[in-house]
């Protein structure tokens, strides 16, 4: 680990996938702590899992990293939450080139809002390249198998949601 900084990894995590998990584990090689910050917006909430369920899944997945990986949630601006938590770096994963424009815009806007907060991009692992929470939900809802793409506890909860 190169430093004692805290990184914040924001997202919807509806649900957390193995792509997210891989990114957190690789972030831990560089930063002392990672906050997995679940963004909530009660006015536009169309998530499959409740906030409580998402927090639980993240906590279960990273139970072995207690003290270094923390799950929490926030409403409002990410930059404000990062400041409240003492995070100096935002982590985001890049999959295909199609992610780039959206991510670039967010990073620029966050930089404008809080220039001292850096955004670090990491390439997702090759086996997670095509995985997204949205696709995982769609495949499971249509009876497809996503084992290996999400942690085991998430797989069980996904199947329960869709009563499979």
Q: Is 111 known to be catalytic? A: no
* Segment lying near ligand PNS (by CB under 6 A), choices 23-31, 46-54, 102-110, 117-125: 102-110
Q: Which of 25, 68, 95, 114 is catalytic?
A: 95
Cβ atoms of residues 68 and 32 within 8 Å: yes
Q: Is 47 known to be catalytic? A: no
* Site membership for ligand PNS, residue 19 (CB under 6 A): no
The contacts of residue 116 (CB under 8 Å, 6+ apart) are 88
What number of other Cβ atoms are within 10 A of residue 117's Cβ?
18
Q: Which of 6, 8, 10, 18 binds ligand PNS (CB under 6 A)?
A: 10
* Site membership for ligand PNS, residue 110 (CB under 6 A): yes
Question: Among 163, 159, 164, 157, which Cα is nearest to 49's?
Answer: 157
Q: Is 133 known to be catalytic? A: yes
d(CA 61, CA 57): 6
Q: Is 44 known to be catalytic? A: yes
Q: Which of 28, 30, 39, 139 binds ligand PNS (CB under 6 A)?
A: 39
d(CA 138, CA 7): 30
Considering only residues 42-101, where is the footprint of ligand PNS by CB under 6 A?
77-78
Q: Which of 30, 51, 94, 106 binds ligand PNS (CB under 6 A)?
A: 106
Size of the residue set binding ligand PNS (CB under 6 A): 9
Question: Among 150, 152, 124, which Cα is nearest to 22's?
Answer: 124
* Residues of this chain that bind ligand PNS (CB under 6 A): 10-12, 39, 77-78, 106, 109-110
């Amino acid at each position: 680990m190169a430093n004692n900084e805290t990184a914040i990894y924001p997202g919807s995590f509806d649900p957390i996938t193995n792509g997210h998990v891989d990114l957190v584990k690789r972030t831990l090689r560089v930063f002392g702590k990672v906050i997995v910050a679940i963004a909530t917006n009660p006015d536009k909430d169309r998530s499959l899992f409740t906030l409580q369920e998402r927090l639980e899944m993240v906590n279960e997945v990273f139970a072995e990293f207690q003290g270094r990986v923390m799950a929490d949630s926030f409403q409002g601006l990410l930059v404000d939450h990062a400041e409240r938590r003492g995070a100096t770096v935002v982590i985001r994963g890049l999959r295909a080139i199609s992610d780039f424009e959206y991510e670039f815009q967010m990073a620029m806007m966050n930089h404008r809002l809080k220039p001292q907060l850096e955004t670090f991009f990491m390439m997702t692992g090759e086996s997670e390249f095509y995985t997204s929470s949205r696709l995982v939900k769609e495949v499971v809802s249509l009876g497809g198998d996503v084992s290996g793409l999400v942690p085991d506890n998430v797989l069980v909860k996904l199947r329960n949601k869709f009563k499979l």
